[in-house]
Amino acid sequence: MKKRRKPGNKIQRIRGYALALIFIGMIIMYLGVFFREYPVIFGAFLIIGLLPILLSFVIYFWVGMISARTITVQCPNCEKQTKILGHVDFCQHCKEPLTVDRELQGEDFSLDYNVKHRREKAIEEIRKQSDE
């Protein structure tokens, strides 16, 4: 059986990207040190290195804003409180896939359900199947 890597909770993943950007920025700035005898190149490295760091601040700010829109639910699997972003997300603690749509409960889990038209199509198909 093929083992599928379980993706993390969305907010955790976005925070991970933001953290990675800070490191990328620091690495670029650090590389500039090798050119410290050339102030123009050194300056260029500092500015280029600053961009991902600024971007990560924007992402952190954005995460703060979308965090306010998340719903806190109790995970049925590990019984801990977890935040759901969008219609389907993973539990922050045990990576259990969770959904807020009753129609999607028990269905094969797909991140597609976060896209509105795909979710509606899936719900429509599920309804059609239960009618038959």
Residues binding Zn ion (CB under 5 A): 75, 77-78, 91, 93-94, 96
Measuring CA to CA, which residue among 75, 55, 59 is closest to residue 67?
59
- Crossing angle for the helix pair 10-32 and 39-67, to the nearest 10 degrees: 170
| 39 or 76: CB nearest Zn ion | 76
41 or 97, CB closer to Zn ion?
Answer: 97
CA atoms within 13 A on the CB side of 124: 6
**Nearest approach, Cβ of residue 84 and Zn ion (Å):** 11
Closest distance between Zn ion and the C-beta of residue 112, in Å?
Answer: 22
* Closer residue to Zn ion, CB minimum distance, 58 or 94: 94
> What letter would DSSP give residue 101?
-
